[in-house]
Structure 1
Amino acid sequence: MIDDYLRGHDGVITLAQAKLAGLSQDAVNRRVRSGKWLRCSPGVYFADDRPFTESARVRAAVWSAGPNAAASGLAAAWWHEVTKYPPDTVEVTIPRTGHHPQRLGVRLRRRDLDPTDIVERRGLRVTALALTVVEAAARRGGGAKLMDNALQRHTELRDLWRAHLRNKGRHGSPAARRLLIAAADGARSEAERLLIKLLRGAQITGWKANYRLGRCVIDVAFPAHKLAIEADGWAFHSDQEVFQHDRVRQNEIALMGWQVLRFTWLDLTEYPQRVTAEIRFAIECRSGASASFRTGAAR
């Protein structure tokens, strides 16, 4: 029974669980003295006959914080398989009255969670998916990319808003709210505003917003260089019809001799310096091409 339990829980077990399985305190102590079990923290052990995996690390961190603890933030996002990589530091939420000390590699957050916001997955208490996404997106290493990915595959925007409103005032709440507002906006218009803000901040001039060219309206155009900049919103808003329309539109602009650069919401929020650098480079290239053309024509 103990072996089956360890196999299903990444080799991690608590003292309370061991006793429920029929082991006495002395039996547990013998396993520790012999080196078969390693003590992760008071009352939490790891069976040292297998690799200490990332799942074991997260599980041990949560169980070390007591029976009412739950994985949260990026640790919960990884447990829910919203992100590919586990965080270096395991975030664990415990009740306000909890008195567990901080441990290396673990970040404790004291907050009373609504029962709606806690689920059990693979035998571990974690924050429910919607709250997990809202909180993890506000953490360093999460961001718009995590939320957009979750909205494409795992959850819906209305569920994220509900979880956010149930948990106002938590760490990262303002940042999460900004992301939710951007997502709710459809984000194409918000992406255009971000693009314009980046251009102004980088002191790039010569552009016009919502520039009409034939049947098309370009988000931001550099008419002197025949350079069109298109800003896309969040991927979860996209569908096949929108995708097809954008490509037809892009081809029409290109056939009129314009170069088209496309930037996504993630480009604008996560890699703003790269965006402005690519725009500057395109302007320089188009300026050089125009100068060469004029010189050749003059000859």
Structure 2
Amino acid sequence: MAVRALGRPAVRHRLVTGAWQRVHLRVLVTHSGPLSPPQTRWAAVLHAGADAVLSHATAAELGGLQGFPSRTIHVSVPNAHQAPAVPGVRVHRRRGLGADGILPAVRPHRMRIEHALLDMASTATSEDAARAVLAAGVQQRLTTAARLRAVLDRLVRVRWRRLISETLADVEGGSHSLPELRFVRALRAASIPLPDRQVARQRASGRWYLDAHWEHARLTVEIDGTGHLDPRTWLADLARGNELTLAGDRVLRFPSFAVRDHPDDVVAHIALALTSPLTNTIMTTRGQVAATAATYTLNRVI
């Protein structure tokens, strides 16, 4: 385009003198300074050719995803297209790159968040990495498990389809982080009944959500990541745990690394709590306490 507009000698002169710079084989920049992030992304899309769109981690980050930065710019093109390999750019060829998966109102065009997240999951380097990105997308309120599943059902070829489908089912059930997903997998492997997840509780200190709760056993399990080491978070955790205990619940806390590295120990503690005679005692005691409270109230009225 530059050659057609100015002629080859004029373009060559600008490149030789350093007024312009060549970023990729077919991409020139009309200044000599460093490229801004938007210019770098534009250059990658132009290099990939017609119908190229930003995808995978690049599109997801632009769509708001946090915690999964990528130094590589990811671009997707229709399956028949070819683009030379260049440093810092990864070109993905895929079938069925339909318009419904592209955000047409942004420039350069990029994949919608659901497609970007599923692409990241299907090209992840491990099963845990695939699970983590799906959970994060929902936890950060960028999309929902239902919308991800609707897109997944329309895609023809997806690596780890079963894994992704199972992860979405767990996310729908309330598992919103990788440690919580690992926790559910460990429970399933041990044939332990799954708890209710992200159970809302309203107490004097405010509203919060329990990671896992077995109501029949009055058992609550909290899975603590590194963020819970912050003193203010730790104190808030203690206060919530005390309120739950005073309300009649038992509370077990596990660090996320224990769920990852020692799932058998975690499961053993939970199995013991669920099968302990104390569970039946708690249920009986709850009825006795309720009866005693009613009698006390009646006597006060009389």
Would the TM-score normalized by the shorter structure come out above 0.5? yes
Q: Which residue of 1 aligns with 2:14?
A: 31
Q: Which residue of 1 aligns with 2:243?
A: 251
Of 170, 173, 181, the residue aligned with 2:158 is 170
Q: Which residue of 1 aligns with 2:94?
A: 111
Query: SS where residue 34 of structure 2 aligns?
Result: coil
The answer as to whether partners of 1:70 and 1:125 remain within 8 angstroms in 2 is: yes
Tell me, in whole angstroms, the C-alpha distance in 1 between the residues paired with 2:194 and 2:155: 38
Of 168, 174, 193, the residue aligned with 1:180 is 168
Give the Å deviation of 1:84: 5.4
Give runs of aligned pairs for residues 189-200 of structure 1, distance below 5 A.
193-196=184-187
Tell me, in whole angstroms, the C-alpha distance in 2 between the residues paired with 1:102 and 1:40: 13
Give runs of aligned pairs for residues 229-268 of structure 1, distance below 5 A.
229-230=221-222, 251-253=243-245, 260-261=252-253, 267=256
Q: Which residue of 1 aligns with 2:199?
A: none
Tell me, in whole angstroms, the C-alpha distance in 1 between the residues paired with 2:69 and 2:6: 32
Stretches of structure 2 that go unaligned for 5 or more consecutive residues are 196-212, 225-238, 269-302
Q: How many residues align?
A: 229
Amino acid at match of 1:63: L
Q: Which residue of 1 aligns with 2:133?
A: 146
More displaced, 72-81 or 136-145? 136-145
The answer as to whether partners of 1:75 and 1:87 remain within 8 angstroms in 2 is: yes
Tell me, in whole angstroms, the C-alpha distance in 2 between the residues paired with 1:163 and 1:140: 22
Of 78, 101, 120, the residue aligned with 2:84 is 101
Give the Å deviation of 1:99: 2.0
- Against the structure 1 CA distance between its residues 26 and 156, is the aligned structure 2 distance closer, same or farther, given a 3 Å change threshold? farther
Write the deviation string for residues 208-262 of structure 1: whole angstroms up to 9, x where unpaired. 998x99975326xxxxxxxxx4469xxxxxxxxxxxxxx8676333787966305
Tell me, in whole angstroms, the C-alpha distance in 2 between the residues paired with 1:23 and 1:250: 75
Give runs of aligned pairs for residues 1-299 of structure 1, distance below 5 A.
16=1, 18=2, 23-83=6-66, 86-112=69-95, 113-120=97-104, 122-138=106-122, 139-140=124-125, 143-151=130-138, 152-171=140-159, 173-187=161-175, 193-196=184-187, 216-218=217-219, 229-230=221-222, 251-253=243-245, 260-261=252-253, 267=256, 272-273=260-261
Query: SS where residue 176 of structure 1 aligns?
Result: helix
Query: How well do the aligned residues superpose, as a CA RMSD in angstroms?
Result: 4.3
TM-score by length of 2: 0.58
Amino acid at match of 1:64: H
Write the deviation string for residues 119-166 of structure 1: whole angstroms up to 9, x where unpaired. 246421211122112222442495444333432422232221122122
The answer as to whether partners of 1:216 and 1:249 remain within 8 angstroms in 2 is: no
Amino acid at match of 1:106: V
Stretches of structure 1 that go unaligned for 5 or more consecutive residues are 1-15, 201-206, 220-228, 233-246, 281-299
Tell me, in whole angstroms, the C-alpha distance in 1 between the residues paired with 2:184 and 2:39: 44
Write the deviation string for residues 105-124 of structure 1: whole angstroms up to 9, x where unpaired. 33222113011011246421
- Against the structure 1 CA distance between its residues 59 and 259, is the aligned structure 2 distance closer, same or farther, given a 3 Å change threshold? same
Query: SS where residue 40 of structure 1 aligns?
Result: strand
Write the deviation string for residues 254-274 of structure 1: whole angstroms up to 9, x where unpaired. 7879663056xxx48x97127
- Against the structure 1 CA distance between its residues 187 and 209, is the aligned structure 2 distance closer, same or farther, given a 3 Å change threshold? closer
The answer as to whether partners of 1:135 and 1:176 remain within 8 angstroms in 2 is: no
Amino acid at match of 1:252: L
Tell me, in whole angstroms, the C-alpha distance in 1 between the residues paired with 2:214 and 2:158: 47
- Against the structure 1 CA distance between its residues 176 and 259, is the aligned structure 2 distance closer, same or farther, given a 3 Å change threshold? closer
Amino acid at match of 2:100: T
